[in-house]
Amino acid sequence: MTSKTLVAVKDVWKKFIHEGNEVVILRGIDLVIEEGEMLAVVGPSGAGKSTLLHILGTLDLPTKGTIAFEGKDVTRYSASQLASFRNQRLGFVFQFHHLLPEFTAVENVMMPGLIRGQSQRALEKRAKELLDEVGLSHRIRHRPGELSGGEQQRVALARALIMEPKLILADEPTGNLDSKTSEAIHKLFIDLNQRRGTTFLIVTHSRDLADRMARTVTMRDGRIENDVRREPSDGPFRRADPSAPEAAREEEGEGVHERVQEDVPDSDQAEAKEPAERVG
Ligand code: ADP
């Protein structure tokens, strides 16, 4: 992993006026994301996770503070600069994928490039390759309504990747999928991060997903309560690798071996799709 800074969030505040009262949602967020990192943002509902993701995605402006992307403060961009920045640098994956129902899988994946006026032929080739990469080469001519939830989410992921973004922002990407399908999508995220070096920030309630990522940021009441990085060996696929016994790594005493599930408050545990550890 490189140590080049991709995003630097500095003293970000977000306030709303709700029924005449000021509501403070983010209270001075500082966060640096390095290129190639994969970080989970966890915390109870209402902590401000989605608000932070929207601000990072330039879909909303902070009340105060700066967001530097590759050193440039994107909070100062004009509307047209923002549109092209988002299109070229960011990929979004949401719980509800927002695929266009009247277009096929391959057309949906091509859409960000079509919006940029790129050559249809080159885009189609690339979109097909991406659909193949997410395991959907047999579904390219299907419309969203003819695909399962997991398949739709794969199409959304391929669409997020078509412009080769630096950063993928995902908000509860597997929130409405069953555990088996979620597992497949989680593997895909990690695989894409490892193969392409794409940086991922994923807001999730899934302990399974957070536990696989090398960094977990816990939010509470609009603040970052905890920011834990693990050693790479303790990150992606660590539990899937039987040749890396848990006890041996614990004895090494390197890095922070805090368990993700300990960071998530009890009230949220019921929302987790897949407990990280099963008893029995
Ligand atoms: P999380 O993603 O951690 O569940 P959110 O970022 O969605 O939290 O929301 C944080 C808080 O901000 C919630 O209490 C929500 O009701 C409030 N909030 C979000 N958007 C607005 C808004 N436009 N006006 C007022 N309050 C809002």
- Taking the CA of residue 51 as reference, the ligand 1 atom at the shortest distance is 6
Percent of the chain with pLDDT over 90: 61
Phi, psi of 6 (to 5 degrees): -95, -50
Strand partners for 201: 39, 169
pLDDT at 133: 86
* Lowest-confidence segment of 96-105, 204-213, 245-254 by average pLDDT: 245-254
Ligand 1 and 50: CB distance under 6 A: yes
Residue 5, token pair as written in the block: 């800074």
More confident residue, 56 or 273: 56
- pLDDT value at 270 more than 50: no
pTM: 0.80
- pLDDT value at 248 more than 50: no
Helices (H) and strands (E) in the chain, counts: 10, 10
* Lowest-confidence segment of 119-133, 211-225, 234-248 by average pLDDT: 234-248
Q: What average pLDDT does the segment 241-260 reach?
A: 35
Which protein residue has the closest C-alpha to ligand 1 atom 14? Answer: 46
Pocket test for ligand 1, best of 16, 25, 27, 220 (most atoms within 8 A of CB): 25
How many A from CA of 75 to the centre of ligand 1? 20
How many A from CA of 113 to the centre of ligand 1? 32
Task: Give the count of beta carbons closer than 10 Å to the beta carbon of residue 228.
Answer: 19
Ligand 1 and 47: CB distance under 6 A: yes
Ligand 1 and 97: CB distance under 6 A: no
For 15, the enclosing helix (H) or strand (E) is strand 5-18
Which protein residue has the closest C-alpha to ligand 1 atom 24? Answer: 16
Separation CA 158–CA 162 (nearest Å): 6
Which protein residue has the closest C-alpha to ligand 1 atom 27? Answer: 16
Q: Tell me the per-residue pLDDT of 36-69, one tens digit each, with 9 for 90 and over.
A: 999 999 999 999 999 999 999 999 999 999 999 9
Which protein residue has the closest C-alpha to ligand 1 atom 21? Answer: 16
Domains of the chain, start order:
5-269 (3.40.50.300)
How many A from CA of 52 to the centre of ligand 1? 10
Give the model's confidence band at 239: pLDDT under 50 very low, under 70 low, under 90 confident, else very high. Answer: very low
pLDDT at 134: 86
How many A from CA of 126 to the centre of ligand 1? 37
For the chain, the maximum distance between any two Cα atoms, rounded to a whole number of angstroms, is 58
Side-by-side strand order, sheet with 64-69:
21-34, 5-18, 64-69, 72-73
Which of 18-27, 179-188, 247-256 tops mean pLDDT?
18-27
How many A from CA of 202 to the centre of ligand 1? 17
How many A from CA of 50 to the centre of ligand 1? 7
Ligand 1 and 57: CB distance under 6 A: no
pLDDT at 243: 39
The average confidence (pLDDT) of the chain is 82
pLDDT at 231: 61
CA atoms lying within 13 Å on the CB side of residue 216: 28
Q: Tell me the per-residue pLDDT of 114-163, one tens digit each, with 9 for 90 and over.
A: 988 999 999 999 999 999 988 899 999 999 999 998 899 899 999 999 99
pLDDT at 81: 94
Residue 190, C-beta contacts closer than 8 angstroms, at least 6 positions apart: 38, 212, 213, 236, 237
Distances (CA, A) of 4 to 32, 36, 50: 10, 9, 25
pLDDT at 175: 85
Residue 120, token pair as written in the block: 């249809």
Q: Tell me the per-residue pLDDT of 7-44, one tens digit each, with 9 for 90 and over.
A: 999 999 999 998 999 999 999 999 999 999 999 999 99
More confident residue, 28 or 88: 28
- Taking the CA of residue 47 as reference, the ligand 1 atom at the shortest distance is 3
Q: Contact 32/5 with Cβ under 8 angstroms?
A: yes
Ligand 1 and 19: CB distance under 6 A: no
Q: Are strands 5-18 and 21-34 parallel, antiparallel or unpaired?
A: antiparallel
